[in-house]
Structure 1
Amino acid sequence: MGNAFGTGLVADDKEHISGRILDAARKHFAHYGYPKTTMADIADACDMSPGNIYRFFLGKLDIAEAIALEDERLRLAEMEKIASAPRCSARKKLCDYFYAELRSTYQKFDEDPHALEVARIISEKRPEFGDLRVAAEREMIARILVEGTEKGEFDVSDPENSAEMIHSAMLKFRFPQRWTHASLETLERELDGVLKLIMDGLTPRAGAAH
């Protein structure tokens, strides 16, 4: 009799096999690209039949989304460390946040150009994934703005709206290779200039009414 998963596998076994499938798919996507990788290729790399793969994932897009979700959880955990760093000014947190995001995504796509291809496909086919990512990022930015306002570093009356505007202004630096062929050095110089403008806009003005 099968268990709640309907596969006859215990949860630990299911998780282990799913992990093997994701690892194999990640390697194939990186080497051959998403379009040229088939479910049969992934199954062969796992010493499984293609039919068995479908017991764990409905299709190749679901595998790609699971990989992206796994990567996103790790990335957001690192960004949360920046947003929650103790004994750190809100200004520094905001700058560190965007520099870390630029450098991590630039490095990821520089080392694995096919990852950008997968990101585009998920963005087109599963837009809700991007919506969740955006919501999580804006929530972190809003928290930093609230903290900065409470400490007197910023003057922000509507943190959620300001976080949305700042996040939108930083689009180029979140997925740099999607928009430009500029080097990391050039992008960091541009980011520095944009952050200076943003910080100037957030800084309380002398004599401003509250």
Structure 2
Amino acid sequence: MSQTPSSVPASRGPADHNVRDQIVEAAGEHFSHYGYEKTTVSDLAKAIGFSKAYIYKFFDSKQAIGEAICAKTLSAIVAAVEEAVAGATTPTEKFRRMFKTLVSTGVSLFFNDRKLYDIAAYSAGEGWPSARAYCERIRQILTEIVREGRESGEFERKTPLDETVHAIDLVMQPYVNPLLLQYNLDVAEEAPAQLSNLVLRSLAP
């Protein structure tokens, strides 16, 4: 499968400078404790022990720091999905695993690291590049699965591919979009299996 689109903002300062990684790591810890919206660049500067001006040599805004953290978080979810899909032998099973993994990793993030989840949800609501790249990669994986199913005769081929993928994406959104998943946690355990069955019946030739 194709590689995940780059969603990390362009680096400022020396590309090989480990200070950038220090800032991202410290910001992740700070956001985890206090939340993204309540944290300022001045807060991060004090926590790390750098001046605010020095941080701006590497990131042009708090959002750019949040983007770096969010991109890392969302990339981990995509990696989990790609691993799950790679272990399946049929398009039907690939779709089931994709949907189940997307929901389970999102739910796990929500309960185990709520503040980082909140950054991902915030990025989705604001349309950050990292969130858009995440959604695009999920659509790419879905498109590849549907195309493979059509080529093997497992899925119907009458409906235009883009229309089919868009419709499935709409069905999945309440459970894979971090901004929406938090409102659907009460049915997140059974939703992947039930909705997968519904989608797969609609794909039958």
Q: TM-score, normalised by structure 2?
A: 0.83
The residue number in structure 2 matching 1:39 is: 41
Verify: 1:163 aligned to 2:165, yes or no.
Answer: yes
Contact 2:12–2:57 under 8 Å retained in 1: no
Verify: 1:101 aligned to 2:80, yes or no.
Answer: no
The residue number in structure 1 matching 2:7 is: none
Higher relative contact order, structure no. (Cα contacts within 8 Å, ≥ 6 residues apart): 2
Q: How does 1:80-95 map to 2 (within 5 A)?
A: 80-85=82-87, 88-95=89-96
Q: How far has the Cα of 1:123 moved from its partner?
A: 2.9
Alpha-carbon distance in 2 for matches of 1:129, 1:70: 9
Task: Name structure 2 gaps, 5 residues minimum.
Answer: 1-10
Bigger-Rg structure (1/2)? 1
Q: TM-score, normalised by structure 1?
A: 0.81
Distance 1:24 1:81, change over 3 A: same
Q: Deviation per CA, 1:137-162, whole angstroms, max 9, x where unpaired?
A: 11110110111111121113422221
The residue number in structure 2 matching 1:135 is: 136
Q: Name the amino acid aligned to 1:67.
A: I
Contact 1:25–1:63 under 8 Å retained in 2: yes
Q: How does 1:1-210 map to 2 (within 5 A)?
A: 7=13, 9=14, 11-12=15-16, 14=17, 16-85=18-87, 88-157=89-158, 158-174=160-176, 175=178, 177-182=181-186, 186-204=187-205
Task: Give the alignment's Cα RMSD to 1 decimal.
Answer: 2.2
Contact 2:74–2:120 under 8 Å retained in 1: no
Contact 2:28–2:116 under 8 Å retained in 1: no
Instruction: Identify the range of structure 1 (18-27 vs 37-46) with the bigger mean alpha-carbon deviation.
Output: 37-46
Q: Name the amino acid aligned to 2:184.
A: T
- Aligned pair count reads 192
Alpha-carbon distance in 1 for matches of 2:41, 2:73: 21
Instruction: Identify the range of structure 1 (73-82 vs 37-46) with the bigger mean alpha-carbon deviation.
Output: 73-82
Q: Name the amino acid aligned to 2:157.
A: V
Distance 1:71 1:119, change over 3 A: closer
Task: Name structure 1 gaps, 5 residues minimum.
Answer: 205-210
Q: How far has the Cα of 1:6 moved from its partner?
A: 8.2
Contact 1:139–1:163 under 8 Å retained in 2: no
Alpha-carbon distance in 2 for matches of 1:190, 1:177: 11
